[in-house]
Structure formats: C-alpha cells, structure tokens
Copies of this chain bind each other. A is one copy, B any other.
C-alpha cells in the first residue's frame, strides 16, 4: 500500500559523552524554516523558530514537572546531536490526496543533566517546508522506571500580539464557537461562562485548545497543534498575555491527581507549528500526518469512503426520539418542550432511509437510538452498565434492516453511544464488535456525551486518550472503521490506523437545531477549515436544505445558504460525509444532484484561495476519475470569488455544473435561493461568481471527452 517513491536519509551522528556544543540548528528542505535548539547559560533547554530568516517563535523554554522527582528545567547539557534528512512518499488509503510527500530534516538532541541526578532527555526536532514539529523522548536510564508528569512546560513565545482563532481550552469538549481576537484578548474563562448547551465542559484556566491558528501582522499564518497523541494527555495552551507566550497545559485527571503516567522509555506526542504565508497552505499541509507512524493496517479494503444518511437529524429537530419510550429528543433537553411521541429507529423508518440512500448514490445509513438504554442517558449520573450495544429495541429488527440494506446495496452504520461511560464500553467492546462482524457492518459512529464516568476524568486526559485509541485498535481487529463523536482531537493517527475515518470534535451542524445562542454563525466553517480541520477529517454532517427548519424549530435555523451547505462537501474533508437532512427535504430538489455526485475520496486537493474566518475555495479531484469538485464558502459578507480553472487537464473539455447563490440569496433572508447552471470550462478559464452573505458555491466538473 505504501509506495515509497524514494527514500533518502542522511544521518550525521556527533556522538560524544561530553557536551558537544550549546546550540544546534536544523533547516527545512527548502531552507525557509529553521529551528534552533540549545541550552542557555543556566542549562535551560530552549528552541527558536525562524521563517525566511525572521523569528517566528522567539526563545521558548522546555521543561517538565514530575511527582516524586525534581523537574526537568535547567542544568542540561547537549551530549549528542544526530541529524537526519528524510524524503519519502506514501499513499493514503483514503484521503485528501493520493500521495503524500514526507520530506524533512531532523535533529535529535540528547540532553543530560549536569546535576547529580544526571537524568537524560532527548528532543527530536523536525523542520518541514510547511512547519515544525518536536517531541520529547525519555530514554531508558538508571534510577527512573516510571514518570508521573504533573506538568509539561513547553513554551511557544510569540513575536507579536497576533490575531488568533481560538476555542477555550476545555478539558471535556471542543464544541465551542471560534473566537477571533488578539492574543491579549483571549478570555477563555469569560467565554466558559456562556455555556448553556454543553453536557460536559471544564475550563480550568485561560487556555485554548489546539489547533489554534494565528495570523501575524506581517500576514504569516501559524497553527499550533500536536501529532501522534498516544498514551499521553491532550495538550491545551495556556495564555500568558503579558509575555505573549503560550505554554502547554496538559489535561489532567482529578481522580488520579496527575497529568501523565508513563514507564520509560517513551516519547511524547509531537508539538507542531504549521507555518504558511497564505492561509490555504495550512490546509494543504500534511505535516501532522507525516509526523505519525506509517499505516499498520494495510489496505483496509473492508471500508470504502461513502456518503451516508441516517436517523439522526430528526431527533435534533424533535420529530422523533432516541428512546422507545419517546421521551428523549433534543427538544426535551434544550427547549424544555414536550417530546415527540415517536421512536425514530424503527425497522420501517430505517428502510425508508435505505430506500432513499439506494436511489441517490449514498452508501450508508446511520441508525441512532436502535438499542436499549436510551431512556437512561443524558442527565443521569449512573450511566455505567446501561448500554450493551447488542440489544435492539423491540421495534427495530437489526438483522432485517442489515439484510434489506445489503439487498439494496446500502451499508448500515452501527451506532454506539457510550454516554461517556467508557468502562462499560470497554467491557462490551468485543461483544459489540463481534456482532458487527457477524452482520458484516464495517463502520461505527461512537458517542461520548456527558461528563466522563468515573468522575474526575476528562474527555481529553490520558486515561480517555488511551480509551479512544484502544477502541480504535480493537475496532480494526474486527474490521470496523470508527467515527468518534465527543472524541479526543485528531492528531494524524489516521495515517497509522486508517480505520479511524472521521470524528466530530467541533461545534457541529446539530447546534443549528437547538443552540440557545442561535446556532453557528455564517463565519463558522470559514474558521473551522483553518483550525479544527487542520487536525483531520470532520464528521460535520452538512447538507441541510430545510434551512429554516420549518415547521419543526421555530427560532432556530442554519445560518448559511443552501449553496454554502453544498460547498461544505468539498470544503470539509472527510471520507464519510453525511447528507444530514431528512429525505423529504431533498426530494424534488435539483440541488441535491450535487450531493449525489460529489466524491468522498480524492487524488488531489488544491486550496484556490481563502482567508481565515472570511472565505475559502477548495478544488478536489475525485479518486480514480478525471472529475473535479469545487467548493467555496464565505462568512456573513457577500463577496465575489474567482475560480481559475488551471487545475484542469490541458487536452480536455469539461462540463461544469454550477450551484451558486441566486441573486437574491442571503443566509437569513433568502437562504434556500439557489441557482444551477451548466457551462463548458477548460484549463485556463477564469470565472467569477458572487457568494451571498453566508453563501457558497459548489461546482462539479466532469470531462466531456
């Protein structure tokens, strides 16, 4: 599967037991990005990052605090530096592009304390053309078997009061609207107070979650994140406004009283900074993936990227319920209204979605609320032992639904709501995945709604990181692909485990159905693609056509046009994309053709233009065909977008079908007004389109010859 186009490694090892020098430098292959690493006169390890010879990250110190051990802080010396140049291409099983080039230069620096403890630490730093990553390695050493990390103190010293797009450093949830402020105006604790809709949220200090993206005054784009988060706590970034400094703040465990416990030797996740002169470069960057280990699962032929529909939005609209007792839908929870009196996951309803999928080039049907336990879900403290993930409600014939789906060529997507009781889920995991295996179901959407049980654990702490990864690896053994909601953030593990197909981990479409603040504003996705999406695929569930949610949800609506919703199938990357609205909202809509047609797996991705929080235009080439799809979205501002069709083949003529905002479209006043045209396009053509306020543009481009 992984085709190494070429592999070129140079290793220069300057191995000596004594201090070799006090600073090491590594430059990216194109030499634009430079990391300097050293220890200062007090033996404090630090690094600095330059881009085109200008400082991007000023002198930033590194350190750790431990339980039962003195901290790693100073008194270090460099004992060896190993330099490596690496250049290898690998193919994605599914992804934004067929082939990824992993090209970097690395220095691995061995440090040792000059104090009597003489503890060792290795720091590995990689310079890519599109950013930098570094990780800590704790080597085997005498006197230390296990480390209990109380704090990691990795600094990111900024060079100015950048504009930042951030969400609070919530230990339980990423489901926040992005804020656009200067660094000095980041006020996560104030924002925390506005939460009215999150079932689980804990924001202990003025920190932000990653990816957090910034733009400097000179227009350089930086995005801070981490890669390969394995057996470690998730990292938030604490804000030091005075010093314009971010410092790692690991998510902790109130139950265990520490952040991370590891036996030596071990490596931390990579701390990453993507760097790009234009905003689109952040999206095109594959550095996060490159910092992960190669594919361990092979071709994963049992999972194919797909579009799907499902019994889901109807619960958010309050039309039907998860539980058979018909008490539990989002109207009952968020609006204090009476629930519908209708269970959603019935055999009959599932078949209705299967029929719709079969007719519309949609590969999967998700059925939520199919299994017993939903009457004891959100709002209950004692959620362990409730769900068993194998017992259907009596009005849902799981086997018959799967059989009917197979007959129609439609895959059923399993649903496992753990209700944030991971111990119960782990006990049931083998049984649950065995059932799936026996039915030939190869994908599961998992959910972790609510505060984690046991109390004191948080969604993003080491204990839960390990749970999420365990579920992913166990699922792979049963040939099950995982789409986790309320997940740990993506850190590129999909490269290593391509059964990790997608995840939520952002404020999704469903907030538009009931959020007390009126839903996601028009700008939401034009920030998300430059922040959350840098970490990995998003199961955002786009494609709402009944924008005003009429007649189900008075006072709520989706705050975009329909054309914007269509564009999201291209703008957002995920190998699974939901057509989230009710089938009846799509019936009779010519614009639905775009959803039928649009691909979910790609040979190529090009960001044509974009500015964080304002707009973005992305072109993607369908895997294995000559078809292209273009998506463009704007925020609340109307704008003209020019699409330069330079990505097309020279010798071909293409039919483009343009789905654009009609002249009178507007996200609030006329959101469903869409205009569809076809035109012939060729390489080099340049076309300008108007995007309405909150609007979008979706284009399918297919060769005619």
Residues of A74-119 at the interface with B, using a CB-CB cut-off of 8 Å, are: none
A-B contact pairs, 6 of them (CB 8 A): A550-B704, A588-B702, A590-B593, A590-B594, A673-B679, A676-B676
**Residue of B with least CB distance to A674:** B678
For residue A670, give the distance in angstroms from its CB to the closest CB of chain B: 9
**Residue of B with least CB distance to A700:** B588
For residue A35, give the distance in angstroms from its CB to the closest CB of chain B: 48
Of A588, A700, A704, chain B has the most CB atoms within 10 Å of the CB of A588
A263 contacts the other chain (CB 8 A): no
Q: Which residues of B contact A662 (CB under 8 A)?
A: 677-678
Contact of A593 among B592, B672, B674 (CB under 8 A): B592
For residue A590, give the distance in angstroms from its CB to the closest CB of chain B: 4
Q: Which residues of B contact A672 (CB under 8 A)?
A: 678
Q: Which residues of B contact A657 (CB under 8 A)?
A: 588-590
Q: Which residues of B contact A597 (CB under 8 A)?
A: 588
A358 contacts the other chain (CB 8 A): yes
**Residue of B with least CB distance to A359:** B359
Q: Which residues of B contact A590 (CB under 8 A)?
A: 590-591, 593-594, 657, 659, 676
A5 contacts the other chain (CB 8 A): no
Q: Which residues of B contact A704 (CB under 8 A)?
A: 550
A337 contacts the other chain (CB 8 A): no
Q: Which residues of B contact A589 (CB under 8 A)?
A: 593, 657
A675 contacts the other chain (CB 8 A): yes
Q: Give the complex CA separation of A172 and B204 in angstroms.
A: 91
Residues of A621-676 at the interface with B, using a CB-CB cut-off of 8 Å, are: 657, 659, 662, 672-676
Q: Which residues of B contact A676 (CB under 8 A)?
A: 590-591, 674-677
Q: Give the complex CA separation of A538 and B541 in angstroms.
A: 45
Q: Give the complex CA separation of A674 and B597 in angstroms.
A: 18
Residues of A162-220 at the interface with B, using a CB-CB cut-off of 8 Å, are: none
Residues of A529-567 at the interface with B, using a CB-CB cut-off of 8 Å, are: 550
Of A594, A659, A662, A678, chain B has the most CB atoms within 10 Å of the CB of A678
Q: Which residues of B contact A592 (CB under 8 A)?
A: 593
For residue A292, give the distance in angstroms from its CB to the closest CB of chain B: 36
Contact of A360 among B359, B550, B675, B702 (CB under 8 A): B359
Interface string of A684-705 (1 = CB under 8 A from B): 0000000000000000101010
Which 10 A-B residue pairings sit nearest by Cβ, starting from the closest? A676-B676, A590-B590, A590-B593, A359-B359, A590-B676, A675-B677, A588-B597, A662-B677, A675-B675, A590-B657
Interface string of A574-597 (1 = CB under 8 A from B): 000000000000001111111011
Q: Give the complex CA separation of A657 and B545 in angstroms.
A: 14
Q: Which residues of B contact A700 (CB under 8 A)?
A: 588
**Residue of B with least CB distance to A358:** B359
For residue A344, give the distance in angstroms from its CB to the closest CB of chain B: 24
Q: Give the complex CA separation of A479 and B410 in angstroms.
A: 36
Q: Which residues of B contact A659 (CB under 8 A)?
A: 590
For residue A675, give the distance in angstroms from its CB to the closest CB of chain B: 5
**Residue of B with least CB distance to A409:** B355
Query: Are A677 and B678 CB-contacts (below 8 A) given A591-B590, A593-B590, A594-B590?
Result: no
Q: Give the complex CA separation of A672 and B674 in angstroms.
A: 19
For residue A685, give the distance in angstroms from its CB to the closest CB of chain B: 14
Q: Which residues of B contact A594 (CB under 8 A)?
A: 590
Q: Give the complex CA separation of A588 and B591 in angstroms.
A: 11
Q: Is the CB of A674 within 8 A of B677?
A: yes
Q: Which residues of B contact A360 (CB under 8 A)?
A: 359
Of A359, A550, A590, A594, chain B has the most CB atoms within 10 Å of the CB of A590
Residues of A305-351 at the interface with B, using a CB-CB cut-off of 8 Å, are: none
For residue A645, give the distance in angstroms from its CB to the closest CB of chain B: 18
Q: Give the complex CA separation of A675 and B657 in angstroms.
A: 10
Q: Give the complex CA separation of A531 and B410 in angstroms.
A: 49
For residue A488, give the distance in angstroms from its CB to the closest CB of chain B: 39
For residue A326, give the distance in angstroms from its CB to the closest CB of chain B: 26
For residue A357, give the distance in angstroms from its CB to the closest CB of chain B: 11
Q: Give the complex CA separation of A86 and B678 in angstroms.
A: 54
Q: Which residues of B contact A596 (CB under 8 A)?
A: 588
**Residue of B with least CB distance to A664:** B679
For residue A545, give the distance in angstroms from its CB to the closest CB of chain B: 10
Q: Which residues of B contact A675 (CB under 8 A)?
A: 675-677
For residue A677, give the distance in angstroms from its CB to the closest CB of chain B: 5
Contact of A673 among B359, B673, B677, B702 (CB under 8 A): B677
**Residue of B with least CB distance to A657:** B590
For residue A31, give the distance in angstroms from its CB to the closest CB of chain B: 46
Q: Give the complex CA separation of A674 and B655 in angstroms.
A: 12
Interface string of A235-277 (1 = CB under 8 A from B): 0000000000000000000000000000000000000000000
Q: Give the complex CA separation of A596 and B592 in angstroms.
A: 12
- Given A588-B596, A673-B679, 11 additional A-B pairs, CB 8 A: A358-B359, A588-B700, A588-B702, A590-B659, A591-B676, A592-B593, A662-B678, A672-B678, A673-B677, A674-B676, A674-B678
For residue A583, give the distance in angstroms from its CB to the closest CB of chain B: 13
For residue A563, give the distance in angstroms from its CB to the closest CB of chain B: 11
Residues of A569-622 at the interface with B, using a CB-CB cut-off of 8 Å, are: 588-594, 596-597
Interface string of A466-499 (1 = CB under 8 A from B): 0000000000000000000000000000000000
For residue A138, give the distance in angstroms from its CB to the closest CB of chain B: 55
Q: Give the complex CA separation of A674 and B591 in angstroms.
A: 13
Q: Give the complex CA separation of A657 and B586 in angstroms.
A: 13
Q: Which residues of B contact A679 (CB under 8 A)?
A: 673
**Residue of B with least CB distance to A360:** B359
**Residue of B with least CB distance to A673:** B678
Q: Give the complex CA separation of A80 and B8 in angstroms.
A: 113
For residue A703, give the distance in angstroms from its CB to the closest CB of chain B: 12
Q: Give the complex CA separation of A590 and B659 in angstroms.
A: 10
Q: Give the complex CA separation of A550 and B590 in angstroms.
A: 24
Q: Give the complex CA separation of A704 and B593 in angstroms.
A: 21
Q: Give the complex CA separation of A700 and B588 in angstroms.
A: 9
For residue A171, give the distance in angstroms from its CB to the closest CB of chain B: 45
**Residue of B with least CB distance to A562:** B678
For residue A679, give the distance in angstroms from its CB to the closest CB of chain B: 7
Q: Give the complex CA separation of A677 and B588 in angstroms.
A: 13
Q: Give the complex CA separation of A289 and B355 in angstroms.
A: 41
Q: Which residues of B contact A674 (CB under 8 A)?
A: 676-678
Of A358, A589, A674, A676, chain B has the most CB atoms within 10 Å of the CB of A676
For residue A445, give the distance in angstroms from its CB to the closest CB of chain B: 26
